[in-house]
Structure 1
Amino acid sequence: MTRRTLLAHFTVLALVAAGGGLPAWAEARHTILVVGDSLSAEYGIERGKGWVSLLEKQLAQDKQSATVVNASISGDTTSGGRSRLPALLKQHRPTLVVIELGANDALRGLPLKMTQDNLLAMARAAKAAGAKVLLVGMQVPPNYGRRYSEDFAALFGSVSKAEGTALVPFLLKGVADVPNAEALFQADRIHPKAQAHPTMLANVWAGLKPLLR
C-alpha cells in the first residue's frame, strides 16, 4: 500500500469517526458501464430524458451507491462495441457492464452468428475484468421474416445462458409491442420518443437491480 493510499484510507476513517460520512468518491460501490447504440445514446430526444439518464435518478432514489458511464454511440454494432470494450474496461474499471447492442446488426442484415459471437466475446471480456454483465435483448419487426426474427430474438437468451449473465429479454417491451406503438416512436419509426424511455428504464431496472445487491 502506497503512502498516498494509506493517507486516503485514514482520511476516510477520520471522516466516518467524526460523523461526517463518506465523501462522494469513497461512497460509490458500483460503476455501471453502458455500452449501447442510439437507443441508449438519447438519439432525437432532449438530453437527460433517455433511459440511461433516468437510471442515474433511479439509483439516487433507490439510495444505491453507484455511478453511471454511458459509452453508447448511435449507429454502433456489436462489432464496434466489441472493439471499444477493452479500452472502456481499462479506463473505467466497471463493476457492472450493460450491453445494449445488436439492433444495428439486424438493420444491416449482418449474419446472426457474427452478432452472437461478438456478444459472447463482450460478455467474456467484461467478466474477465471482474464485472457482472447485464445483456439487453432486442427484437426486429416481422417483416424481416419469421425465421430471422425468431432467431435474432433468441440469440440474446443463448448468449446469456452460455455466459451466465443477467438478461433483459426485450428493451422495448411495453413500447414496440403495444396497440398504440406508433405514438411512442419518432418519425423514423425506429427510435422511441422521450415518453417511452421510463418504460425502457423499467425493463432494464428489473434486470439490473438484483446485480447491485
Structure 2
Amino acid sequence: MRGLSILIFIGALAGCGGAADPQPKPEEEIRSEPQPVMGPERTIMAFGNSLFAGYGVGEENSYPAQLEAALRAQGINAKMVNAGISGDTTAAGLQRLAFTLDAQETKPELLLLELGGNDLLRGLSPDQTRANFVAMLDELKSREIPVLMMGMRAPPNYGPEFQAEFDGLYGELAEEYDVALVPFWMETIYQRPELFQNDRIHPTTEGLSELVVATKDAVVAALPELPDDAEAPADASAE
C-alpha cells in the first residue's frame, strides 16, 4: 500500500472537535528574525511514514526538511535525518528500526517517532500497535536515545471502545517510558482541507509548514540539554 491514507478520515475526525483556531502564517513565523546558528550539531532522526517522507511534495519540502530550517532559524544547529517510509505500519517500523540506527554515523540526540496511522487503515488492533511501539521504545531506551512521540487519533466511526484504546496508547506509553509526546500532531490542520493535496490524504507544503510551526517548540523542549563545555562549530560565525 502506497503512502499514508489516514487522512481519508479527516471528515470523521472533524466531528470530534470545534472549529480550528486561526493559525499564524508559517512562512512568516519560521523566517522571522533568524538567529545565528550556534553550538554543536544536533542530530534529530524523523522516523515515520509518508507524513515524514515528503509524499507528494518532495523530500526538500518534507516536514523534517522544514523543521530543520525552522530550528536553524531559531539558532539551533540542527541536522535532520529523514527516516520516513511511505506506507509503514508500526510493525514495518519495528522491523527496520535497529538497522536504520546502526547505519547512522552519529547517534541521534532525539528521535521523532511518528507511526500508527497505517495500522488503523489495515485494521490492526490497538494491542498489536501497542506491542510494536513497546518493542521500538525498548530498543531506543537500550540505546539511550530520547524520543518524542507524534500521536495520532482514531476516527469515531471505529467505535468508542476502539477509539479510546488507540488514542490512549500514546499517552500511556509516553508516561511509561518517560518520553515526550505531542498528543495529536495533526491537530492544527486536520479540519483545514485547503492544506491537503488533491488526494485529501497528505498535507501540502503549506500544511507541513503549519505542522512545523505547531510542533517545533515541543521538538526543542525534547532535545537533551547541552553540557556547559559544548563547543560551537568552527564555521558557526560564517552562518
TM-score, structure 1 length as denominator? Answer: 0.80
Counterpart in the other structure of 1:126: 140
Out of 41, 52, 66, which is 2:53 matched to?
Answer: 41
Q: Is the 8 A contact 1:186 1:193 kept in 2?
A: yes
Whether 1:113 aligns to 2:124 is no
Q: In the TM superposition, what whole-angstrom CA distance separates every residue of 1:147-205 from its partner, at most 9, and x where no partner exists?
A: 322321111111111110000111111111x3xx2222223322122221122113331
Please name the residue that 1:157 is paired with. Answer: 171
1 or 2, which has the higher helix percentage?
1
| Distance of 1:151 and 1:46 partners within structure 2 | 34
Post-superposition offset of 1:118: 1.0
1:27 pairs, out of 40, 50, 53, with 40
User: SS of 2:52's equivalent?
Assistant: coil
Q: Offset at 1:45?
A: 1.7
Q: Report if aligned partners of 2:48, 2:113 keep a CA contact under 8 Å in 1.
A: yes
Where does structure 1 lack aligned partners over 5 or more consecutive residues?
1-23
- Secondary structure of 2:120's counterpart equals helix
Mapped partners of 1:66, 1:175: distance in 2: 25
Aligned counterpart in structure 2 of residue 74 of structure 1, from 56, 70, 86:
86
Structure 2 residue identity aligned to 1:103 = G
- 1:211 match: 222
CA contact (8 A) 1:32 1:97 kept: yes
2:159 corresponds to 1:139 = no
Aligned counterparts of 1:202 and 1:118: Cα–Cα separation in 2: 29
Q: Any unmatched runs of 5+ in structure 2?
A: 1-37, 226-239
Answer with 1 or 2: which has the greater Rg: 1
Count, aligned residues: 185
Measured after TM superposition, the shift of residue 140 of structure 1 is: 2.8
- Kept in 2, the 8 Å contact 1:89–1:129? The answer is no
**Among candidates 63, 72, 85, match of residue 60 of structure 1:** 72
8 Å CA contact 2:44–2:110 kept in 1: the answer is yes
Q: Are 1:139 and 1:170, in contact at CA under 8 Å, matched by a contact in 2?
A: yes
Partner-residue secondary structure (3-state), 1:160: helix
Cα distance change, pair 203–74 in 1 and its aligned pair in 2 (3 A) = same
Question: Counterparts of 1:84 and 1:162 in 2: how far apart (Å)?
Answer: 23
Q: Conserved in 2, the CA contact under 8 Å of 1:41 and 1:72?
A: yes
Task: Report which structure shows greater RCO (CA 8 Å, sep ≥6).
Answer: 2
Instruction: Name the structure 1 match of 2:208.
Output: 197
Q: What whole-Å deviation, never above 9, does each CA across 1:10-63 have from its counterpart, x for those lacking one?
A: xxxxxxxxxxxxxx9x931x2111110011111112442221111110121122
User: Partner of 2:181: helix, strand, or coil?
Assistant: strand
Contact 1:168 1:203 in 2 (8 A): no
The equivalent residue for 2:185 is 171
1:87 CA displacement = 1.1
Match of 2:63 in 1: 51
1:142 counterpart letter in structure 2: P
Distance 1:150 1:191 in 2: 24
